[in-house]
Structure 1
């Protein structure tokens, strides 16, 4: 398994855990393909909480541009944007 795939999975796990913390009523599986606003019910403030959870889990304060948390419609899209920004910042 590639390092990027492992990193992507770890990021998604942190984001899913953060979603469950923000929206404990979401008891079913979260694949990452759900629409962040329409299906998961997260707003822009909740997206900031996702960023904070990721920063705390990985110590990424300087590495993730908070603007990328506002545009992807799904968690998987968000994971992809984070991975792309990490590669670009190296």
Structure 2
């Protein structure tokens, strides 16, 4: 387990981002903690609203542009700052 404060895991739990051991420990905690249960419910509802808000279909030409640029844009090494921003 990476954290000792189970109260800090509400967001990760709501997003299904906990490893099995932390999820099991948090679910045992959740059964008796009404404030965590309320926070998980709020995070879950917020995540669902954000997912719906961001579900805009891309323009048809975007796929072709991305596939074309894949072969021409060099990946930066980890930690390197980009030299310029492509729009």
The TM-score with structure 1 as length reference comes to: 0.29
Q: Tell me the TM-score normalized by structure 2.
A: 0.29
Specify which structure has the bigger relative contact order, considering alpha-carbon pairs within 8 angstroms and separated by 6 or more residues.
1
